[in-house]
Amino acid sequence: MDSGLVMELLIGALRMTAILGGPVIVTVLIVGIVIGALQSATQINEPAVAFVPKLLAVMLVMAVTGASTLGIFVDYVREMIIRIPQIAG
């Protein structure tokens, strides 16, 4: 296995990680910043106040983007399975 193939597989794996995790991470980041600003403005520091909106936002994002990201992931896994002989030999 040459270094070009290793780099190609590594870049593909990192790209897949960003595609699958990106929407959820960005959503949690945005909701966390908004909730943090609201908590500091109202001086309510209750952990449940921060957790519940993040949970609901993640559930919404997963419902909206779940089917498309699952399709992308299945295509990636199918491609990796097809490339096993190239990787092994």
Rounded to an integer, the average pLDDT of 56-62 is: 96
Q: Residue 45 and residue 21: Cα distance in Å, rounded? A: 28
Q: Residue 37 and residue 34: Cα distance in Å, rounded? A: 5
For 26-57, how does the pLDDT look when each residue is reduced to its tens digit (9 = 90+)? 999 999 999 999 999 998 888 888 899 999 99
Predicted pLDDT at 20? 94
pTM: predicted TM-score of the whole model, two decimal places:
0.79
Q: Residue 62 and residue 23: Cα distance in Å, rounded? A: 8
Q: Residue 85 and residue 29: Cα distance in Å, rounded? A: 40
Residue whose C-alpha is closest to residue 27's, from 69, 72, 59: 59
